Structure 1
Amino acid sequence: MRIVCIVLAFVFASLGAHAQTASRDFFAFVMLAEGSDGHPVPMVRSVAERAPACPVLRSSAGGVSTAMTPRRRPPGGQFDGVTVCEALYPVGEAASVFLGDRRIDLPTVSLGTPRRVALIGDSGCRGEALDKPQYCGGDGFAKVWPFGILSDEEADKRPDLIVHVGDYNYRGTERGLVLPPHLTGYAAPLSVNVYDTGDLDDEDIASLPIGAAYWSQNIEGSPNPDKWTNWRDDFFRPAARLLVAAPWLFSRGNHELCSRGGPGWFYLLDAGSTLLGPGRKQAECLPQLPADWRPGAWPKPPAQPFAGLPFPTHTSAPFRLKLGRLNIIAVDSANAADAVLYNLETYLTQYREVARMLAEDPTPTWLVTHRPVWAVVKRDKGGPIGLTPYGFINETQREAIHRVFGRGLPPHVTAVIAGHMHRFQAIGFEGAHPPHLAVGTGGMELSHVQPPPSPENPKAPIRIEGLDRGPAWVVGLRDFAAMIVRPVEDGTWTSVLYGTGGEPLATCDSRWPGPGRQRSVCELQ
């Protein structure tokens, strides 16, 4: 019966996608951000194709109507066909967004301790890329790109909060570009790498295109700039049911760098907004070429666009959501290099701000960031430590935390939650480090489990020596999945990882690891 339901869900999702294509796509969702006064602020965003004006927000209780205001489109014309609008959203009552005769009903928002938090990440689909193409629809939907199925599953579990740990847009963010002569002025096409500070877990050949190799998909005249249709197809259409199920916390991934999907990120999902109070505004990407690089007349090779100059990157400051007896601190790790120390000063600044937040409020806290702080990968894909056969990521964040916190994160940090790796990995430390979850299993093609499980007992945790100066116990899975976490008032939490058929794949308890306890934070089912 479960298989029949999945097939029917796919059929109806496909019909819905065709119906939306025939008309005009219209989405709305609620997101949470931190106001300038430190309190959480619910905001509603609408995303509408070819809309002549912004929608109206109307509360269900008093029927009060609020005109939504437009956000600033990225330059270049790639988002001119879609209008994003926003407004403050009420607490304690549901509301609806109206655009002409179309209506989207939105959830009731509570700012108390959430009972069920849905975690999902790395949900996009690579598409017909030259390197390792991934089919993004048709008969292979549930097996090859199951984000729509997982979205429906999580919506049915009625979460109070949804946390996406980043990487929404894959089909529009390839790793390289071929720049045509009419753009460069050169005699032949120019092949370049796109700036990223590491995406090393899932690649056959380790690649780190930083430093002088910096190029951006979003340079003027790019043959593959960030655009709305990729965001629509990779995230908004398959997430349609989940978008309206609960308020969201969106984390920025490395596929949302300004050199990749950054323009759409800051327009569609980033929390920056004037609605958050004085000093807050919508963020945007800096120009992706120097001002004196004219189309068709670039400096002759081997010139590099920002040689000797700061790269035009943007890293948002950490923000905190105070939700009853749970705080969540979001850290933008998109620019944190995986396997080498790069942009370290940026992340020293980031974690000094995290330290300030933690020092002023001892409420149990989750740290949410796209790139893992501690994760086990192949030795040649991360920073090797000692004589272990593994590599470890993320080197930049780990070093920043060492320098800022010395002996480690304070004990009221009860979880570090990430994605980036296209698999599930759960780490429980024998020392004082908080449990670490990587849930990058939302739809992107999966990578192999590291460390490799024991052939005699594949579900048993693997002991890793030297993972951030101490032993740790690691379990992992190569399954498409999402997680429901249940916080407890005393700061502990439990969770279950669910597969595409709703089956439990792992159960977790924050009390399991710790000094003298030889177990991970999760057990595989």
Structure 2
Amino acid sequence: MNSIKPSLPRKALSRFLMISSVLATGLLLYGCGGGNSVIKQASNVNADASIKAAWVVVGANNQAIARVVTSELSCPKIRNGSVYFPMTLRAAAGTIPQRKTASDAVDSKPSVFPLTACEYSIPAGTSSLTVGSFSLPLPKANPQRIVIVADTGCRMKKADQAWQACNDGDAWPFPEIAKTAAAMKPDLVLHIGDYHYRENVCPDDIAGCKGSPWGYGWDVWQADLFKPAAPLMAAAPWVVVRGNHEECRRAGQGWFRFLDTQPYDAKRSCDNAANDDIANYTEPYAVAIGNDTQVIVFDTSKVGKKAIPNTSEVFLKYQAQFKTVNQLAAKPGVHSIFTNHHPILGFVPVPGKAPLPGNPILQEVMQSVNPTAYYPAGVTTAIHGHVHDFQAISFATNHPATFVSGNGGDDVDVNFADPFPTNASPAPGVIVDKFSHTSAFGFMVMDRQADGTWAYKAYTRKGLLLTTCLQNGNKINCDKTGYLAPN
């Protein structure tokens, strides 16, 4: 029997047979009704494998922005309804050379961002938005429930010999807080600053934080914010306020890559210390929450603790910005909630001593613009972080009700004395009427009432209600005053 020789070379024949086998398998799947679904599933798997986080932030003029970080060099497409749109590059992956930081050079290192940051401005009227298999939350025109957190990261700071047990859910409860708050189904999340705390390497002999990432790169941002906050980022869009931990000598690089709502710019990236005087200051803006309420976002990331001359550059910058606040708060019939990280008419607890008043620099600047009230008339509420406790203060004088919600995860401060000193004042000319407080870990919730006003509620980390404060004008009345026991 004569053998039949192939008309193709052996290697070509082998390649032909392999391709034929693959095509046959694909046709078989397609014939079973699975062809398109297999392709789509593979695409989603690939997208999910590369996308490490996806979330929505809301900026000036209520512009909602979808953000993702991906291990791919190019940005993914995002699905708006049934149509796919390309996301735009915000910041490319890269390693930023070591710059001067708040720590000694030996305790610092270059910031490594191995992921690409991408964004997409969400058009008004969008009904659904997905990227990969991530379904992104969309802003509501009239939010009914707002979760408020601040100071959420895990502290690792050599200068203070502060080594929080980041590996212990009891010692660092932000993951629990985020999960508890997400279960309350908020329409919006308001974070009042200090997302990042793991600045220096944990010593080998401290088990609570041993092996934790440190520095200012993506790995710390993932550990301090994006991984623990994932349930809360999936639940609602975020309004983000910058804290002092996000100033340029600290975690400012990640702040601008991931959270800041303005267009990304090299001079406003904190990569080059020569531009810090630009990047450490952001113009205030307002976010409407319904027709009758707005949140004014103010950046005090670089404010210090001591009074400064009223002719200094910093004073004049803040003064101009507070004049902008006056303009933002001048909308008739709109209740303005002023948010910044550092308490202005709040208190700072000191172990065994009288409490300290609010930030003196901000008070002096604000008095130069609004001599007696500190705030413009349109501001009836102020919300802060920075001090690691909860405070709800109503004043006998004509000043806006003040809340501090800095108990979101970082080491909490000591409790204030109970009863609270009757002669304590947070600022000249300001008289306290009612004061509720605790240093238990937790968060706040704003719930819109039937009459359109807001109820401000303080919760423990596990969702136990501590107090409810109802507002009338710039006064609040909490159902519990003094020290709030977390039992």
Matched residue, 2:422:
463
SS at match of 1:376: coil
Determine which structure has the larger helix proportion and give its number. Answer: 2
Distance 1:27 1:313, change over 3 A: closer
2:278 corresponds to 1:273: no
Residues 253 and 333 in structure 1, CA contact (< 8 A), matched pair in contact too: yes
- The residue type equivalent to 1:347 in the other structure is Y
Distance 1:498 1:372, change over 3 A: same
- The residue type equivalent to 1:31 in the other structure is V
Distance 1:490 1:332, change over 3 A: farther
Distance 1:92 1:160, change over 3 A: farther
Residues 32 and 248 in structure 1, CA contact (< 8 A), matched pair in contact too: yes
Distance 1:79 1:488, change over 3 A: farther
Distance 1:146 1:390, change over 3 A: closer
Determine the C-alpha separation between the residues in 2 that align with 1:422 and 1:466.
Answer: 19
Which runs of structure 2 are paired with 1:31-70 in the superposition (5 Å)? 31-34=57-60, 39-48=61-70, 50-59=71-80, 62-70=81-89
**1:277-304 CA-partner distances (Å, limit 9, x unpaired):** xxx99932262269xxxxxxxxxxxxxx
Residues 56 and 64 in structure 2, CA contact (< 8 A), matched pair in contact too: yes
Among 59, 66, 71, which residue is 2:90 paired with? 71
- The residue type equivalent to 1:78 in the other structure is S
2:164 corresponds to 1:134: yes
SS at match of 1:125: coil
Matched residue, 1:187:
none
Among 383, 387, 392, which residue is 1:417 paired with? 383
SS at match of 1:52: coil
- The residue type equivalent to 1:399 in the other structure is E
Matched residue, 1:503:
464
- The residue type equivalent to 1:321 in the other structure is V
Matched residue, 2:453:
492
CA shift, 1:466, in A, is: 3.7
**1:353-399 CA-partner distances (Å, limit 9, x unpaired):** 10122235441110011111122225799xxxxxx943212111111
Among 167, 173, 178, which residue is 1:151 paired with? 178
CA shift, 1:69, in A, is: 0.6
Distance 1:514 1:149, change over 3 A: closer
Q: Which moved more, 1:356-365 or 1:62-71?
A: 356-365
2:154 corresponds to 1:125: yes
2:239 corresponds to 1:249: yes
Which runs of structure 2 are paired with 1:70-109 in the superposition (5 Å)? 70-73=89-92, 75-76=96-97, 78-98=111-131, 102-109=132-139
Q: Which moved more, 1:333-342 or 1:397-406?
A: 333-342
- The residue type equivalent to 1:390 in the other structure is P
Among 295, 302, 305, which residue is 1:328 paired with? 295
Distance 1:490 1:464, change over 3 A: farther
Matched residue, 1:304:
none
Distance 1:32 1:358, change over 3 A: same
**1:440-497 CA-partner distances (Å, limit 9, x unpaired):** 11100111123x113xxxxxx6534443213113221111101110245866321211
CA shift, 1:64, in A, is: 1.6
State the TM-score, normalized to the length of structure 2.
Answer: 0.75
CA shift, 1:338, in A, is: 2.8
Matched residue, 1:285:
270
Determine the C-alpha separation between the residues in 2 that align with 1:118 and 1:410.
Answer: 25
Matched residue, 2:35:
none
Determine the C-alpha separation between the residues in 1 that align with 2:461 and 2:85.
Answer: 38
> How many residues are treated as equivalent by the alignment?
404
Q: Which moved more, 1:466-475 or 1:495-504?
A: 466-475
Distance 1:399 1:518, change over 3 A: farther
2:438 corresponds to 1:477: yes
Higher normalized contact order (CA 8 Å, seq sep 6+, divided by chain length): 1
Which runs of structure 2 are paired with 1:376-387 in the superposition (5 Å)? 376-378=347-349
Structure 2: 5+ residue stretches without partners? 1-47, 98-109, 202-213
CA shift, 1:509, in A, is: 1.6
State the TM-score, normalized to the length of structure 1.
Answer: 0.70
Determine the C-alpha separation between the residues in 2 that align with 1:317 and 1:52.
Answer: 31
Residues 380 and 391 in structure 1, CA contact (< 8 A), matched pair in contact too: no
CA shift, 1:339, in A, is: 3.9
Determine the C-alpha separation between the residues in 2 that align with 1:161 and 1:518.
Answer: 23
Which runs of structure 2 are paired with 1:352-391 in the superposition (5 Å)? 352-378=323-349, 389-391=354-356
CA shift, 1:93, in A, is: 4.3
CA shift, 1:498, in A, is: 1.3
CA shift, 1:510, in A, is: 2.0
Matched residue, 1:434:
400
Determine the C-alpha separation between the residues in 1 that align with 2:238 and 2:223.
Answer: 19
Give the alignment's Cα RMSD to 1 decimal. 3.2
Matched residue, 1:8:
none
Distance 1:162 1:462, change over 3 A: farther
Matched residue, 1:297:
none
Determine the C-alpha separation between the residues in 2 that align with 1:231 and 1:438.
Answer: 24
Residues 344 and 363 in structure 2, CA contact (< 8 A), matched pair in contact too: yes
Distance 1:380 1:482, change over 3 A: closer
Residues 369 and 418 in structure 1, CA contact (< 8 A), matched pair in contact too: yes
SS at match of 1:244: helix
- The residue type equivalent to 2:439 in the other structure is R
- The residue type equivalent to 2:120 in the other structure is A
Matched residue, 1:301:
none
- The residue type equivalent to 1:83 in the other structure is T
Distance 1:285 1:520, change over 3 A: farther
Among 380, 399, 402, which residue is 2:364 paired with? 399
Determine the C-alpha separation between the residues in 2 that align with 1:499 and 1:162.
Answer: 17
- The residue type equivalent to 1:252 in the other structure is R
Q: Which moved more, 1:358-367 or 1:69-78?
A: 69-78
